A and B are shown apart, each in its own frame.
Chain A
Amino acid sequence: MSVIEEIRTRLDGAFAPMLLEVEDESEQHRGHSGWKEGGETHFHVRIQGPAFQGLSRIERHRAIHEALGRELLTRIHALRLTVGP
């Protein structure tokens, strides 16, 4: 499974979101530190769902970090999150 599919699967399973978009932005960071040929280093996740209602910004991000897991997070270089209820 590609990293992008892995991210999507884990977030879908954890939050059953109304909106989930995962974008590989690696190409925009070509040549920067952390970037690798073939991409899958820099991601942007847009996610919305009732699971995030009542959580602070930090709590929302922490919930996502937890759903993705430490091992997956160490494999990617950058993760941009846009989270809403």
Chain B
Amino acid sequence: MSAQDKIEQTVKGNDVVLFMKGTKEIPQCGFSSRVAGVLNFMGVDYSDVNVLSDETIRQGIKDYSDWPTIPQLYVKGEFVGGCDIITEMMLSGELDQLFEQQGVSFNKDAADQIRAHNS
């Protein structure tokens, strides 16, 4: 299977997927760490793909979304954004809205708590 096929399968086969450097337990980059940290704290059930363990996926995911940086978050098959966009959406409440619209469960109190600490 080609890298693009593998990526397509992962993106379409999971409600929430984060392509990141490292794993959700042990992120290897500050930007990946921030997004994983938000999702972990919000209690979102998501799959993590460590791009550092497969060079074809590391380049392949950039080609797939035509987006030059990692991390990349996908919800219900759609690319949502990288670290800056997820951070902005988290703080504005748009990420909550997206999860609600897409039927992804998360802890609203935890999300409010993050906002309270960053306002």
Contact = CB atoms under 8 A, between A and B. Distances in A.
Interface residues of A, number: 16
B30 A32 contact: yes
Nearest to A58: B81
A10 interface: no
B79 A58 contact: yes
A50 B79 CA distance: 25
A5 B84 CA distance: 22
A57 B68 contact: no
Given A29-B30, A32-B30, A82 B68 contact: no
Contacts of A18: none
A35 to B, nearest CB: 11
Interface string A19-63: 000000000010011000000000000000000000001100110
B34 to A, nearest CB: 11
Given A58-B81, A79-B69, 7 more contacts: A57-B85, A57-B89, A61-B67, A61-B85, A70-B68, A73-B68, A78-B69
Interface of A: 29, 32-33, 57-58, 61-62, 65, 70, 73-74, 78-82
B29 A65 contact: no
Nearest to B21: A33
A28 to B, nearest CB: 9
B45 interface: no
B88 A33 contact: no
